[in-house]
């Protein structure tokens, strides 16, 4: 394999919807970052591109982190 060698890293950050400051903390350091999806109330993580959306993980069926939704008490 020839050509320049570089490493690519992907970091997934889940935040509350109103936390655009999380994206800015990456872009301020020259790192690409964008809101690319959402977790709906059922716990399904969907990625979007333009007007298309695709479910990729169902947290109710396969928890990714073991974290639980905070109680609303």
CA pair distance 50, 11, nearest whole angstrom: 21
Domain boundaries, the chain: 36-62
* 24-48 confidence digits (pLDDT tens): 888 899 988 887 777 778 888 888 8
Q: Strands 44-49 and 52-58, how do they pair?
A: antiparallel
* Tokens of residue 34, six digits: 């964008």
pLDDT of the residue at 53: 86
Closest CA to 38 of 69, 64, 61, 16: 16
Give the residue with greater pLDDT, 50 vs 14: 50
């Amino acid at each position: 394999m020839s050509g320049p060698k570089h490493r690519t890293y992907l970091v997934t950050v889940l935040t509350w919807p109103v936390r655009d400051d999380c994206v800015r903390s990456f872009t301020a350091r020259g790192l690409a970052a964008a809101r690319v999806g959402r977790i709906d109330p059922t716990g399904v993580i969907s990625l979007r591109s333009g007007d298309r959306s695709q479910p990729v993980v169902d947290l109710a069926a396969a928890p990714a982190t073991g974290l639980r939704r905070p109680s609303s008490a």
